[in-house]
A and B are shown apart, each in its own frame.
Chain A
Amino acid sequence: MKKKITVLLLVFVLLVASLGTLVAFTGCTDSGSEFKVGVLHINPVSSTSGYTYAHQQGILAAKNALGLSDSQIVVKDSLPDDQTDLINAAIEELIAEGCNMIIGTSFGYMEEMQAYAKQYPEIIFSHGTGYLDTYGEGQNNNMNNYFGRIYQVRYLSGLVAGLTTETNNIGYVVARGTDTAECTSGVNAFALGVQAVNPEAKVHVMILNSWFDPTNEKGFADTLIEDYDCDVITQHCDTEGPSSSAKEHNVYSIGYNSDMALAVADKGVERDPSVLTSVLWNWGAYYTQAIETAMKCFDEQGNFIGVDAWKEFGNYYGDYTDGLYELAPLSENCAEGTAEIVALVEEMMSKGTSEWDVFTNKALSFTKGEDGKYTVTQVDRQLKDNAGNDITEVTVANITGNMPYWVAGVEVHNQ
């Protein structure tokens, strides 16, 4: 009797499994005509602040801008960078569901995406924050990298910090050190912004060596405030800890990724005034362009017609002119003249990086006229690192891959 039941159960399980694949298979062919975008996220898509939130908001903005339906966006979330098997499974599910384009938002998906891009030349792949692609001779040209020159807004936030500090000590809690250009470029641009308005001020850096360490993200800010007398704290890490620590110590902070003025606000308060501003991404600007371009690689019946449009689009390192990032509203605690000076530089940045860029041998200098209005001029200088060596001007090529130094005025307190 037991045997019979076991056999029956087995048969049932097999039937269900085969039905499942059948459904998946027919689903795949049915939706062939509809352009589908698959998205891979590192954190739960339900999060209300931080990295994944910012990217998902971008995807939704692109969806609205292009008039896509819910079924045209397929999201796979909670995929940690180091879980290769989960990432592979998610990519295969997206392919099985008939996605024509796959967007990976986290650095760690790079190798997996490249492998699948080679295997599936008729699917468009777009990978955020990485450096591998399939461009070049003998390649399929169906994968690109994207990131933005967020350092431009870091520079703006540096102006805010430099103008507001009274102790001339500014703290910076950063996830990684000189091995990660994403972090050093942020710190360096911030420090150059600080120095443009306040040459006396020092930027004190403490390195977490971790992308997620909530206890120490707050603890580092505590140390910077208590031991190094910092009165403005900024950060490149995951939690609200640094901003909360600043608020606790009655000093100021500058947020990153999401608007920290909202995150640390008390009950009934809309924006916390201790948060001077936040450095924010607006990924929708890229995703709209990218999805629109990828759609050009398919005809109206959904058949693949070639990667030319995508190849022409190429790798993407957007700048201020694309509206890819912005500064959150300034707090009432910002020093007088902050808004005017920030607006002047924003205007310069909106003219493109050919007008002026952060890591060049041109520094900005601000003077207040008799009418109370500020003017900005470019002055020659030599970029130096904090050991006193000259630095060559930085171009797009090395901003995304390699920046193994800190600029002068940055004091790093740990390894």
Chain B
Amino acid sequence: MNSSVMAIILALCEAVRRGTPLLLGTTGEILNEKSGSLNLGVEGTMAVGAITGALLGLSTSNMFLALLGAFVGGMFCGLIYAFLTITLKANQNVTGLAITIFGGGLCMFVGETLKSTGKFPSYTTEFFAEITGGGIPLLKDIPYIGQLLFSYNALVYIAIVIALIVWIYITKTKSGLRMRAAGENPAAADSVGINVDAERYKNIVIGSGIMGLGGVYMALFINNGLWNTDWINGYGWIAVALVIFSNWSSARAIWGSYVFGLLLALKSRMPSLASAFPSVLSWSTAIPTEVFDALPFIVTMLVLIISSMRKNKNTGCPTGLGLNYFREER
């Protein structure tokens, strides 16, 4: 019995660990989309945040500097995206894809160059213990509950707080109302004196910074700070779909991310779940692992199909999403 409960708890923990970068990516993307920009550059923005954050964090052994570096790296990508789509009125989709390619390439270039010259920084013993340890003292020692709720590193809790703050900002505050107006109907917002361009700039840049945090999570926690050419591994794309799954609400994105985190964790955790519950799950041992690789993306497609078939018009999707705002063409 105990080991069965433990198998479930370990799988859920893994879901939270893998869901956290998704949550950060999704929260950042919600800020982008709510203000009217469909930013498809999440994957690339996360990659840049990953490399800047990881390098700064590993070379200084300072968690705060790692997060700061990642945030600034993400903001840098957001600034490029905002300048191209708002100031230069470039197509949002194409610009987003360009950011994805650029970010992935930049991360690869810097990482490979440092690795091949032997200059890629490694952990100090203390910093490795700090990264891999984590958890809230005392509370994490409570049997089962402690492991499930209090055993994670700080960024897991920071991600939840960020998601809640963003949710309050968007739904409860005046400035959130202004940014929603810029996303829903920029012309109307402009006519009541809201600076649409400034609203969009602000939210894109901050949102991209949050995506950068998701990137550094992938680098330091999922990959233990060891360089490989696939740090982000498609998580950025899942985040784009998670925005729709969570209906543009970062509060709903919290559990949405953990659901997708669980899907991503199944490849490694399904075998132990199956041996813990042989009567219910023994069928799963016959499934090739490739199916688990594909699962998150299959569910992503299903989410997109179902959400596009929904008759209910009352979604959180901003009306002006994906449309550039030309003041002169009002």
Question: A residues near B, CB below 8 A?
Answer: 44, 46-48, 206-210, 212-216, 218-220, 222-223, 226-228, 238-241, 244-245, 247-248, 263-269, 413-415
Contacts and interface: CB of A to CB of B under 8 A. Distances in A.
A219 B115 contact: no
Contacts of B288: 209, 415
Interface string B83-106: 000000000000000000000000
A216 B268 contact: yes
Contacts of B10: 223, 226-227
B175 interface: no
Contacts of B115: 47-48
Contacts of B271: 206, 223, 227, 413-414
Given A223-B271, A266-B125, A414-B271, A239 B265 contact: no
B289 A208 contact: yes
5 contacts: A212-B230, A215-B223, A413-B271, A413-B285, A415-B287
B226 interface: yes
Interface in B263-301: 264-265, 267-272, 275, 285-290, 293
Contacts of B267: 216, 219
B312 interface: no
B2 interface: no
A218 B222 contact: yes
B62 interface: no
Given A48-B118, A209-B290, A414-B285, A219 B224 contact: no
Contacts of A215: 222-223, 230, 233, 264
B123 interface: yes
Contacts of B125: 266-267, 269
B268 A223 contact: yes
A210 B292 CA distance: 12
A214 B125 CA distance: 22
Output the residue of A213, A215, A218 with the most chain B CB within 10 A: A215
B233 A214 contact: yes
Output the residue of B223, B228, B267, B268 with the most chain A CB within 10 A: B268
Contacts of B224: 218, 241, 244-245, 248
A207 B271 CA distance: 11
B225 to A, nearest CB: 8
Given A47-B116, A227-B10, A248-B132, A241 B226 contact: yes
Contact of B272 (A214, A268, A413): A413
Contacts of A46: 112, 116
A252 to B, nearest CB: 16
Interface in B218-273: 222-224, 226, 228, 230-231, 233, 264-265, 267-272
A206 B289 CA distance: 10
B122 interface: yes
A239 B289 contact: no
A347 B115 CA distance: 37
B195 interface: no
B14 interface: yes
Given A48-B115, A214-B228, A241 B223 contact: yes
Contact of B128 (A219, A220, A266): A266
B77 interface: no
Interface in B140-199: none
Contact of B7 (A227, A241, A247, A264): A227
Contacts of A209: 288-290, 293
A347 B272 CA distance: 40
B318 interface: no
A215 B221 CA distance: 10
B121 interface: yes
The 8 A-B pairs with the shortest beta carbon distances in the complex, nearest first, are A46-B116, A227-B272, A413-B271, A219-B268, A244-B224, A248-B132, A214-B228, A266-B125
A175 to B, nearest CB: 11
B304 to A, nearest CB: 23
B124 interface: yes
B46 to A, nearest CB: 14
Contacts of A220: 268
B285 A222 contact: no
Nearest to A212: B230
A264 B122 CA distance: 8
B268 A244 contact: no
B222 A210 contact: no
B112 A44 contact: yes
Contacts of A216: 267-268
A219 B265 contact: yes
